[in-house]
Amino acid sequence: MNRSLLVYPLILIVFGLAMFAVVEHGSKLNASRFTFHVSRPPSPALQPSTGVGPSASLLANLRQNFEDPLTRLFVQLILIVLAARVCGSLMHKAGQPAVIGEMIAGILLGPSLLGWLWPGFFQLVFPPASLGTLRMLSQIGVCLFMFVIGMELDVTQLKHQARTAVFVSQVGILLPYLLGVLSALWLFPGLAAPGTTFLPFALFIGISMSITAFPVLARILEERGLTRTNLGSTALACAATNDVAAWTVLAVVVAIVKAGGLAPTGLSIILAVLFVAVMLFWIKPRVTGWLGHAALESGVPGKGIMAAVVVFLFACAFVTDVIGLHALFGSFLAGIVMPSHGEFRNSLRVRLENFSSVFLLPLFFAFTGLRTQIGLLHEPAGWLICLALIAVATLGKLGGSMFAARMTGINWVDSFALGALMNTRGLVELIALNIGYDLGILSPPIFTMLVVMALVTTGMTGPLLDLSDYLRARHALRTKLI
């Protein structure tokens, strides 16, 4: 210890002398005579003095540092994640799914509230030039989310509930879809995006009316302890069947819009069918062997397995994007073909879902909120149209599913509860709406109206289930008295 105390000052002296000698020698060297044509912004230190005081210069320097893309992205991530967690916790305490709070958080951070109350800060944190990175990260989060949805589909459950699930889900798609297309006749002249035609607009309005958010529905059933009941298993089977049908229709619509003609559309659909066939009938039976039985039975996928799964996920997303569909469809298929041996699927789902739901999905909600402009509905006519869309969506989805369930022999109260669950739209609805917005089909006003519709119909699920519980208890009491 004493020797090190003596040697350390000598080391510092030698280091200082060596640095001085190198700098002194380097100052006598000539710079390169080659000319490099590189455009650089002028350095603040080289700009002429304007007589500004030190404090103003310091503030200007801090502002310039804040405008660095990475620094701004960090600020955006902090605000988005905090707002999502706070709003999600508040909604959970209020008896609503946390996803509703996260959706509301995205709207609060957008021009509807933050941009209205504090426009200077909003433009500083969320300038249009910075949204490209936010959009890419949010799309990765949605791809991971769709992969998890695909893994949560239980094919055996669909087989056991095939008759009810297929009938209820198909009626629950066809009726609201038809009502949506009919509504498009009224909405198209004033609310379609410039340059779009009636067919894609009508198809997207129909899709927005007919989607059920399978993951949100599953969370509601789990929180209420209904997963293992007849109502819960029927609702999960119907929602899963609905999801498959709705995403298939959406894939066809996206192919039609992107292709822009009959022949390219037909080619995209043929390639999509071939890809689905390859995934389900060739890749799915072989995935278990590729990953290894030992790795699957262990229940905790290692780094190599995780890397292989993520590469496979993004490769499937890449293929569907190149075909002319959306990358989300490839992610969804990748989740469906994952093996269900042991605890592998559940462990993989938990790992990916925790990362995407806490970090990446709030970015998607925020990006959607930045597109949602509640101020566009400032006139009474706008709010009346929005209320009409909510009524049409509820009538088609809740009403259609309820009457279809009653026709399969389910009592009226459980049929009503099933219809309320199928009326849940949530995040899946926002994904479809963003696809329509990106394709230039939905204008900002109709996009905002449909986002509000998704929030309201999802928020209705809890109170409607409480009403069904009350009706069920009242019926049981009346039966007991009789």
**Which domains, from first to last, does the chain contain?**
86-474 (1.20.1530.20)
Indicate the burial class of 200 (C-beta count within 10 angstroms; 0-12, 13-18, 19 or more): buried
Neighbour count for residue 288 (Cβ, 10 Å): 16
With residues binned 3-state (H G I as helix, E B as strand, rest as coil), the percentages for the chain, rounded to 5, are 80, 0, 20
The pLDDT, as a whole number, for residue 82 is: 92
Q: Residues near 326 by Cβ (< 8 Å), separated by ≥ 6?
A: 250, 251, 254, 320, 435
Is residue 435 within 8 Å of 250, Cβ to Cβ? yes
Contacts of residue 412, Cβ cutoff 8 Å, sequence gap at least 6: 406
Which among 97, 220, 221, 214 has a CA at the least distance from the CA of 158?
214
* Helices 361-371, 444-481: inter-axial angle, 10-degree rounding: 120
Contact 362, 319 (CB under 8 A): no
pLDDT at 416: 93
Q: Which of 187, 183, 186, 185 is nearest to 175 (CA)?
A: 183
Q: For residue 374, which amino acid is it?
A: I
Confidence at 425, pLDDT banded by 50, 70, 90:
confident
pLDDT of residue 482: 65
More confident of the two residues 377 and 137: 137
Tell me: pLDDT of 83 over 70: yes
Total residue count of the chain as it appears in this document: 482
Q: What is the CA radius of gyration of the chain?
A: 28
Tell which residue, 341, 321, 339, has the closest CA to residue 330. 321
The 10s digit of each residue's pLDDT in 441-467 is 999 999 999 999 999 998 898 899 989
Closest CA to 339 of 384, 381, 298: 298
Residue 419 to residue 376: CA distance in whole angstroms: 31
Looking at residue 5, its pLDDT comes to: 65
What token pair was written down for 110? 């957008």
Structure tokens at 70: 């990475």
